[in-house]
Amino acid sequence: MRAGIAKRLALGAILIVLTSAPSVADACSVCSTGREDENRVAFLLTTVFLSALPLAMIGGAIWWFRRRIRAMEKDESTLGAPDTARLADLLPGSL
């Protein structure tokens, strides 16, 4: 039981050290020297992508609903239409 507590304390200490020292994790996106242009382009492209993503999702949903409604209307119109070949057979005087 004491071994489990010691492992938890060691794991907690390691996590505290890693999360409190960004230089160890190299997590600071604005601290990278010499790569300002690469970072600027990356942030710009990410911003454009994340701005367009919701619009594309909404547009895709509208397109899908519209296509589905048209398919349902087409199925409904073919099911509800009278069969003209059978109707002609039922009329008197038809061949």
Q: Give the 3-state secondary structure of 14-43.
A: HHHHHHHCHHHHCCCCCCCCCCHHHHHHHH
Together in a domain, 39 and 74: yes
Q: Which domain holds residue 4?
A: 1-31
Together in a domain, 25 and 40: no
Average pLDDT, the chain: 76
The answer as to whether 15 is a domain residue is yes
Looking at per-residue confidence, does 66 or 3 come out higher?
66
Looking at per-residue confidence, does 60 or 85 come out higher?
60
The answer as to whether 71 is a domain residue is yes
* pTM for this entry: 0.43
Q: How many domains does the chain have?
A: 2
Together in a domain, 49 and 73: yes
Looking at per-residue confidence, does 37 or 56 come out higher?
56
The answer as to whether 53 is a domain residue is yes
Together in a domain, 46 and 60: yes
pLDDT-derived band at 77 (thresholds 50, 70, 90) equals: confident
Q: Residues 49-65: what's their mean pLDDT?
A: 94
